[in-house]
Structure 1
Amino acid sequence: LARALALELAPKEIRVNVCAMGVVRTPLWDRVVPDSEKREEVFSKKAASLPVGRVGAPEDVAEAMIMLMTNRFATGTVFNLNGGEYIS
């Protein structure tokens, strides 16, 4: 969808990019896994499986979004922000 929209909107100088995120520690997880000990266990297990050794933080997402928004040459990009999950 991002690539199709990027092609369609490029003549209007509108760029379309997507950020495909892995596990990011946000308040949403409080509802997904209400028990805080179990939630931390989920994060720990996920972190241990990632090359970077941790789950994402909101700041990681913000930095990626800023990069995609400010780079005028980036369009039709699916940016995988997952701590290296796809390569492990």
Structure 2
Amino acid sequence: RQAPGTSSGLGWFLGVRSWADGVALFHEGSNELWYAIVALAPARDFGVLAVTNAGQDRGYRATDAVVSALIERFDAAQVP
């Protein structure tokens, strides 16, 4: 559930994305040693999860690159 007037709810960030056909949900986190990010597109029954054993900025950059590349491949595959 989205908190009124915000772009987040229950620890998830929400945003409208074309590849998601509407609202996409994102959650990420680190314990300083590992990093994980998940992106979900409920309207398309699609989700991506990337994890790494690198924490902090290095882990963020690596997982963000993987998630972005997978979303691009998925989105390109959906075009007739």
Bigger RCO of structures 1 and 2 (CA < 8 A, at least 6 apart): 1
Higher strand share: 2
Higher-Rg member (1/2):
1
Length-normalised TM-score, structure 2: 0.31
Higher fraction of helix: 1
